[in-house]
Each structure stands twice: as C-alpha cells, then as structure tokens.
Amino acid sequence: MKRTFALLLALCMVLSLCACGGTKEEAKTQEPAAAPAAETAAVNDDIVILYTNDVHCGVEDGLTYQGIAAVKAGLEAAGKTVLLVDCGDHSQGGTIGTLSKGEYIIDIMNEVGYALAIPGNHEFDYGMDQFLANVEHANFPYLSCNFVGADDKSVLEPYALIEVNGVKLGFVGISTPETVTKSTPTYFQNEDGEYIYFFCQDTTGEKLYAAVQNAVDAVRAEGADYVIALAHLGIDTESSPWMSTEVIGATTGIDVVLDGHSHSTIEGDKVANANGEDVLLTSTGTKLDALGCLTLNADGTFTSKLVDNKAAAAKVDEINAEFDELINTVVAHTDVDLITKDPETGSRVIRSQETNLGDLCADAYRAMSGADIAIVNGGGIRADIPAGDITYGQIITVHPFGNEMCMCEVTGAELLDALELSAASLPGEFGGFLQVSGMTFTIDMSVEPSVVLDENQTFVEVAGERRVKDVMIGGEPIDTEKTYTLASHNYKLKSGGDGYGMFKDNNFLLDCVMIDNQVLINYIVEKLNGTVGEDYADIWGQGRITIING
C-alpha cells in the first residue's frame, strides 16, 4: 500500500513540477528566486538537486527511499538533470542501521543513486573504524570541510565541483561541531583520552566560519558558478554558535544551504550573509517526511517533488526479510502508553522533562545493576511504546545505539554537577537531559543557568547559583562528600557523551556488561513479570523531576 501511494504521488509530482518544500500530502509553491547578478552562468536545461536529511534509518517512513528513487527516475525521464544528495544522520536510528552498523543504509543509498553526502553526528555512532568503512562502501563521496585530524588536515574532501549542462556547481560539506559530544566522544580520542579528530569547534564559532569560508573560496576559485552548502548544523539554539543561520551570517559566497540536524522543516527561508545578501536556507524535517527538490532553472526558480524505484524497494525488502522474525518477536507487554512525545501536540518532551518511558528506562538500569541511582539521557530514548505487546524491534527503536550498561562510584558533588548540566538548556531541548531513577529533585527556572563548558562542549564548572535544588537520594538529602553507585551506559559514564565528562575517571564496578535494549527487556521480563503496569500509568512520570517558575 505504501509503495503504491508513493508511486502515485510520484507521478503527480513529476507531472505537476510542484515547488520546493512539498510534503507527502501536498506540494507547496515557493516564490521564484533569481540567481545572483554575479552568477549569471547560462542554464541550458533544468538542473534538479534532490536532497534528504535526518532520515535516521526511516527506510519505509514518510516518502520512503523507494519514493525518492522514483521521483529521481521520473524527473530524469522527463529530461531533467538530477543530483541526489544527503545532509547527514542517515545510517542510525532504527533496527536496520543498528544490526548492520549502518552498512545496509549505504547499500540502499547506493541503489537509489546518491551523488554526494555528508556525515551527521550519528554517522559516527558505530565507531570511527566503522564510519570510515561505510564511507569506503559508498558509491558516492562524503564531504566535510571542518572534519580534521590531529595534523589539521581534512579527513574527507571539503568540497566537490560538479559540472552539469555547462554550469559548475560547487558543493561544500559542513558537519556540526557538536559531533564530538552528540556522538561518543571517545571515538574521536586516542587511547590516552586525547582528541585526535576535530570539527573546528570553539566557543565563538570562528574556527567553523573560517573553515567554511576557506572551502567556499577554494571551490569558487576552481570556477564554481553557484555554491550549495550541504550542512548538518540545524537551527536549535542549543547548537549555537554553530547554527546554520550563524554560519550563513558569518560567511559569503554561498547561494543555498541544505540543512539538517535539528529536524526542522524549512521550505525556503532567506537569511542574510556577511555582506547582507540573501542565502536560501531549507531543510526537510526527518524520517523522509519530505524530499527537498532544488531546481535551478533559467529564471532561477525552485521546485519540490517526491516518489519510488523498484531496485531500492527490492533492496529494502531483501534486508527486511532477514530480520522480520526477530523484529516482530514479542518480548513483553505494557498496559499503558509509554511516551517520548506529548500525545496531544506531538512535540518531543523527553529531552526537557520527565516522562514515564524515561522513568522506565532509568529504572531498568538501576534494577539490573543494583546501583543506588541511575541516569539515562533523553536523547538516547528514541521512540514511544503504545499500550499492548512489545516487540524486540520496538525495544531496539527505543534504544538503537547499542550502548552498554556500566556502573561506577560517584560523589554527591559530581551528581550535583551532572544534574546542573542536565538542566542548563531548559526551557530548550537537550539530548543530554537526564531521566533518573532512585532520586528526586527540583529545577528552579527562575535561576539563570551558569554551567561553563569548554571548546568541546564538555562540562567545566558551575560558575553561579544552581538551578537544581532539593536533591534526594533514597529519601535522604544528597551528601556532597558521600560516595554513591551510579548506573547508566558507556556513552554517558565512560565516554563523556553530551558533555558529561565528570565520571570518566571514576572507579567502575560494572564495565559494559549488557547492551542497552537488553537491559530494558530484562527489567520488564524479570523485575516486572513481563508487564509494564500501573506504576507507570502517568505519562508525565512519578514526580522525580519537578520544574518550577518556568
């Protein structure tokens, strides 16, 4: 049914040549944008750039990869010249990625016919060796102008110059500097814990801006008539000073930014660059909710389309068939809906407040380890579980990263610092927002955050009054000098993920003993007798985190 829908939709889109920013429900028209006067290269035929971002293994979500391939094929059959590009976070986020460490997603992208891609932060979630193997496995180049090694040389090509119909298109890749903390920090370090890979991160953004400008200037010098940035930066304020809007405002020479990372749907905003010139900024959301289609016509107009390809469908079917039995195996049951999103608004809440699924995941770590307390980052809890039978595939979708349970000794002072970092981004989202077990506390939003981070976005200190108050552990006020046992996973405790570097050198009592999704399954089966019940009925949790003066 989904493929039939995609094919029919593809036919409509190709025939109507609707404009950029269309969704699977309907295509929406965007005002034409004239090419800059300084870039008047002749366009003999329509040049179409299809783009995706933040697919997160959503091979059969939204438009589907089949649908994208069909749009591409339909446009080519209509005489258009088509390039298909991706702006990162394609290889992680679902069972198909987890079980193949991203390789099957590359297989599908090869089949669909991608021309270029850039790494998002989650391309590194399987480790640096696997990332480089996936890059080698791809039939298309990966670009990044700001991903460098210890010798300050680019690990990937910073840009590509592609000549189409007599027009030279320059593509510059930009990866978020947040990668060092929004993937696993140790993947970018040597055995001594020293960083050997960098993303031009600093506290001002100047290193990133300079790297982007250098790449733009270089591809212009090679003759590019237009420069299109493939970016994984986003527009969330927590990403500042590395938001796409900030990079545009600090550089010149870019015509269009195709963006990712924040899962934003941007049909086509105009953002002023350092010279006050308009740059088109666009992004497709996530999970193939929309396919971007930037068309360079003789008059400078832009359009958007969608659809399917039998070769890609066959590849998806082949891979899915191998895992259907495992994915659909029922491992437990829940009497209640377990949430990451507000059921009324659909907005994601697990990264900014307590939820019952957050409680459940944290409880699983505490129960299965025997620790005094447990923490789980909200960004590591990726999907709701509706009431009913729970399958293995659903559990993997909740915990797709393959992190492993650890337990270490921590002081009360370290815990207070961790909670303060967790609360620092509120009321905004933070992937490192902590869901907790074995403790309660209050966050006072009337207190301005005073957490200090270093250039790698890792915790340094709390420089002022604390937002987090009234912390209780086991029914007793927290003791800053007391030692507690803390359970979580290796990303959080050993690798300093999301900036939590305060635990890395502590004494570990359990070291990577069980994969995260198995921790959750075992907790429900062994400790809850196979059923999540009324203890978790309140979707807003059990009152462990109280937010006041918000």
E strand spans, 365-412: 373-377, 388-391, 405-411
76/142 Cα distance (integer angstroms): 23
Measured CA to CA in angstroms, residue 86 lies from 57, 90, 294, 401 at distances of 13, 8, 13, 21
Superfamily in which the 2-320 domain is placed by CATH: Metallo-dependent phosphatases (3.60.21.10)
Q: What pLDDT is attached to residue 326?
A: 77
84/288 Cα distance (integer angstroms): 14
Domain spans of the chain, in order of start: 2-320, 330-548
Helix, strand, or coil (residue 370): coil
Q: What is the pTM of this model?
A: 0.77
337/358 Cα distance (integer angstroms): 12
Sheet-wide strand order for 292-296: 116-117, 81-86, 47-52, 292-296
Q: What pLDDT is attached to residue 327?
A: 84
Residue corresponding to tokens 């890395």: 504
E strand spans, 224-263: 226-232, 256-259
- Going 336 to 533 to 443 to 463, the CA torsion angle's sign is negative
Give me 59's structure tokens: 């091979």
Q: List, as one string, the DSSP characters of 44-89.
A: -S-EEEEEE---TT-TTSTTHHHHHHHHHHHHHHTT-EEEEEE-S-
Q: What pLDDT is attached to residue 425?
A: 94
Q: What is the pLDDT along the chain (550 residues), one digit of tens a residue?
A: 344 444 444 444 444 333 333 333 333 333 333 333 333 344 456 788 999 999 999 988 877 898 888 888 888 888 888 999 999 999 999 889 888 999 999 999 999 999 999 999 999 999 999 999 999 999 999 999 999 999 989 999 999 999 998 889 999 999 999 999 898 999 999 999 999 999 999 999 999 999 999 999 999 999 999 999 999 999 999 999 999 999 999 999 999 999 999 999 888 899 999 999 999 999 988 999 888 888 787 776 555 554 444 555 666 677 677 767 778 889 999 999 999 999 999 999 999 999 999 999 999 999 999 999 999 999 999 999 999 999 999 999 999 888 999 999 999 999 999 999 999 999 999 999 999 999 999 999 999 999 999 999 999 999 999 999 999 999 999 999 999 999 999 999 999 999 999 999 999 999 999 999 999 999 999 999 999 999 999 999 999 999 998 6
Question: What CATH class has 330-548?
Answer: alpha beta
212/200 Cα distance (integer angstroms): 10
Q: Which of 137, 111, 122, 109 is CA-nearest to residue 51? A: 109
